[in-house]
Structure 1
Amino acid sequence: MLIFKQSGPMTFTPMGVPGLESQLLWLSIPFTSMLLAIPIGNGAIIFLVVTDFTLHTPMYLLLALLMVADLISSLALVPKVLCLFWFDDRVIGVYACFTQMFFIHGASVVRSALLVAMAFDRFVAVCKLLRYNTILSHSLVGRLGLVALAKGVVLILPMPLLLQRLTFCHMIIPHTYCDHMAVVKMACSNTRPNRMYGLFVILLVVGLDLLLIGLSYVLILQAVVRLNSRDAILKALNTCSAHLFVILITYIPALFSSITHRIGRNIPPHAHIILANLYLLVPSMFNPIIYGIKMKEIRDKVAKCLCR
């Protein structure tokens, strides 16, 4: 068996969707549609928030930052996946692979941190409405964005660094992109530190972030229950509905993907791969749609731009 060491020049070969190689052309149709819709939808929201000063409020600024994270994640994924589906180009350099891994997983961590910040924003909007502008100033929103960015960089940067200590026996990645666990499974040296660190990141990001989001919504629910007016209750719930939808479509596929990588040995490989792609693409594609439908200001701005 040939052993490939990290010290020399090396390339990986993403094989796409194991078991469905002959169907890649058909699979490329929905994937291409999603990969093209993501930059359009996210770019439109970012453009509206940046260019319209009436949308320079904490809620919309955090929304724009979320769209930027989604856009970075999709742009890190798009080029290589489209080359694989359209041109059967399966070769990626090792450092390009690690760079793609860093941006995809880093953007996912930033997205999760921004969802926590948006939960805090909804808590202040419902429970501390009279002090909303005082508490959530533009400077605080900027600091929350920087904390989210720092969290993504600090937590994900060790992943490619730890991979460089490994010896790889296989160069074919059973995936469409350089997923951390997919690359770790190709190593024939001790991968325990990599697996433990990956699990630590998942527990810290998904576990802690979901705990903070859940705490915010418990406090919101307590405040809503104390409201006497039915209209006030419906208005408060409507204020949070878009954020709740985004949380569901972000964390549920991510949790399933993570669990199946570790304990889903009987799940077909192609199911692993498709699920891992969906947990990246579905939130990025549906976030602009959800916020566009649920937020009247964005609907009005989009309608105005289309009329022009």
Structure 2
Amino acid sequence: MNEEHLSQADNVPNLMSISQEHCEGFGCRGGGQDQVNGSEHDQEEPQDFLVSVMIRRQHMEAPKNTSSIPVSEFLLICFPNYQTWQHWLSLPLSLLFLLAMGANATLLITIRMEASLHEPMYYLLSLLSLLDIVLCLTVIPKVLAIFWFDNKSISFSACFLQMFIMNSFLTMESCTFMVMAYDRYVAICKPLQYPSIITDQFVARAAIFVATRNGILTMPIPILSSQLRYCASVIKNCICTNMSVSKLSCDDITFNQLYQFVIGWTLLGSDLILIILSYSFILKAVLRIKAEGAVAKALGTCSSHFILILFFSTVLLVLVITNLARERIPPDVPILLNILHHLIPPALNPIVYGVRTREIKQGIWNLLRRLKEVLLIFWFNMKPISFVGCFLQMFIMNTFLPMESSTFLVMAYDRYVAICHPLRYPSIITEQFVINAAIFIVLRNLLATLPTPVLAARLNYCTSNVVENCICANISVAKLSCGDIHLNKLYQFVSVWCLLGSDLVLILLSYCFILRVVMSQQSGGAVTKALSTCGSHLILILFFYTLLLVFIFTNKAGKKIPSEVPILLNVLHHLIPPALNPIVYGVRTQEIKQGIIKLLKH
């Protein structure tokens, strides 16, 4: 036996007295005494094996009987301490995800369609938006699938692919900020050389450098993790981060941790140092400018970039600090911050540039004007609409909108009876009640809104036949009339506010009674359960009336905002609630969720 094994064996008391039970746990055969009395080879082999086993056991954090298992998939457990709050958290995350995807897509389309934005600086901004879209699509859909459909499993290969994309694209984003900082440095410190330095060829080479450097250097992180042997398959995280996955391994993960630490700080740290150096030279050059207003103008060109770097670095530093202090704070906090770091910067990047860059802002307005034309053309140049077709559309819109509001009212009454009078619920909310409620909804709103298109149809139209809207709204059509339209406006105002206003008041009253009953209960769990039954309904009401109020306020603002904004909001109000209603109820209602899963299986 070599000296190293002997020295280690001396530090292991009673090594040869290991019990037969423990030896069998490691797959040994024969007793210790038989092995000692055997041949030299027979003596050395069991001893070497047992010594190596003991040394390995000293270095392993797992229990004594831990052994590796074949892992084909992992289970992602989001927020272990707050499982019941996942559905509520999915709402703001969904809105941020839609904002991030929509804003970045709008920015990419604007830069692509506007010839004035075909410049190197905006190409770099397009690269940043593209990276943001990929990061969001890699992380957020899986998180929402866990929240909505309890789809916690992720395959072995998909987990490490997600790990690679997150690590590589995060450092690519940091590197892009560094290239953009160099762009601002050349623009301010060497303005005459800017056209010859920052060219399209420079942007192409910079993009290749960003992708190659970060792709190659971060590639070993998922490779090292995939080579480990795993003793468990439950990841206490919403995403496959390197440390969360590596912790499940039976092997020593020191090298994995060291490599990620060194590479992470080398890539992100070097980018940050170069960004700070660029801005140091910029500040030095700006402070030498004597002309009044030149300093503010020069710094103004860097403000958007500086704000984005501040967002990116701040969220990243907070995430690092919370991970270092994870023993002092709840484990759910770093998990949430990790998700937000893949969501907030992508959502804010295009908004900050869109708000603070005049050229992009103008490009977006031009895009909205083109969008208006697209909506009017409806893809097939179908601008004309018949007289009858226009007023039929007006009638259906005016009728079915308050019908939806009345349906929310009936649903609020259903929740009121279920919580405040649970014993009487089966006798009150019957199939006959639902039929009577449906008849009431149809007749009430049909009779109340029918005069709106009738009054508009009786007007004399003698000016233009061009309706400046995507749909035949009452006021848009009535404005084309030569006659007095005060009665039309008054009737629509009174009928809409009577119908929608009365519904909203009764809904609020229902929830006041529900809240009073719920608060009188002593059990905290009963309160949570009672309120959770109303969660889906409250979310849908919030969407419906918020969009409606925003649309009304934009119409009242008149010439203070572009005319395209109310048109777009009017279209969205007929699109977003119908799209979200089934999703919200499907996510938050267990029976519907199970029904959808069964349907997908079939």
> How far 1:205 moved relative to its partner?
1.9
> How far 1:210 moved relative to its partner?
0.5
Tell me the equivalent position of 1:205: 267
Answer yes or no: is 1:282 the counterpart of 2:344. yes
Answer yes or no: is 1:103 the counterpart of 2:165. yes
> How far 1:287 moved relative to its partner?
0.2
Q: How does 1:240-259 map to 2 (within 5 A)?
A: 240-259=302-321
Match of 1:49 among 111, 116, 121: 111
CA distance in 2, matches of 1:137, 1:45: 21
Q: What does the per-residue CA deviation read over 1:75-110, in whole Å, with 9 as the maximum and x for residues that have no partner?
A: 111221111011010000111000111112211111
Match of 1:169 among 205, 208, 231: 231
Tell me the equivalent position of 1:139: 201
Q: Would the aligned equivalents of 1:119 and 1:217 in 2 still touch at CA under 8 Å?
A: yes
Q: Would the aligned equivalents of 1:71 and 1:284 in 2 still touch at CA under 8 Å?
A: yes
CA distance in 1, matches of 2:313, 2:268: 7
CA distance in 2, matches of 1:151, 1:126: 27
Counterpart residue identity of residue 81, structure 1: V
Q: Would the aligned equivalents of 2:322 and 2:333 in 1 still touch at CA under 8 Å?
A: no
Q: How does 1:1-308 map to 2 (within 5 A)?
A: 3-5=67-69, 8-308=70-370
> How far 1:50 moved relative to its partner?
2.0
> How far 1:219 moved relative to its partner?
0.1
Q: What does the per-residue CA deviation read over 1:111-159, in whole Å, with 9 as the maximum and x for residues that have no partner?
A: 0110000000000111111111111111011000110011221122101
After TM superposition, the score normalised by the length of structure 1 is 0.96
* Residue range with higher mean Cα deviation, 8-17 or 216-225: 8-17
Backbone CA RMSD of aligned residues: 1.3
> How far 1:9 moved relative to its partner?
4.8
CA distance in 1, matches of 2:320, 2:204: 31
SS at match of 2:248: coil
CA distance in 2, matches of 1:275, 1:144: 30
CA distance in 2, matches of 1:217, 1:147: 22
Distance 1:32 1:4, change over 3 A: farther
> How many percent identity over aligned positions?
34
Counterpart residue identity of residue 305, structure 1: L
* Residue range with higher mean Cα deviation, 286-295 or 47-56: 47-56
CA distance in 2, matches of 1:230, 1:260: 45
SS at match of 2:342: helix
Counterpart residue identity of residue 303, structure 2: S
SS at match of 1:13: strand
> How far 1:263 moved relative to its partner?
4.3
* Residue range with higher mean Cα deviation, 149-158 or 110-119: 149-158
Q: What does the per-residue CA deviation read over 1:263-298, in whole Å, with 9 as the maximum and x for residues that have no partner?
A: 432121111101111111111010011000110011
> How far 1:258 moved relative to its partner?
2.5
* Residue range with higher mean Cα deviation, 220-229 or 47-56: 47-56
CA distance in 2, matches of 1:264, 1:217: 34
5+ long unaligned stretches in structure 1: none
CA distance in 2, matches of 1:230, 1:197: 50
Counterpart residue identity of residue 163, structure 1: S
* Residue range with higher mean Cα deviation, 72-81 or 251-260: 251-260
Counterpart residue identity of residue 97, structure 1: C
CA distance in 1, matches of 2:357, 2:338: 29
CA distance in 1, matches of 2:96, 2:195: 37
Number of aligned positions between the proteins: 306
Q: Would the aligned equivalents of 2:103 and 2:350 in 1 still touch at CA under 8 Å?
A: yes
Tell me the equivalent position of 2:490: none
Q: Would the aligned equivalents of 1:3 and 1:167 in 2 still touch at CA under 8 Å?
A: no
Q: Would the aligned equivalents of 1:15 and 1:175 in 2 still touch at CA under 8 Å?
A: yes
Counterpart residue identity of residue 293, structure 2: D
Counterpart residue identity of residue 70, structure 1: D
SS at match of 1:230: coil
SS at match of 1:167: coil
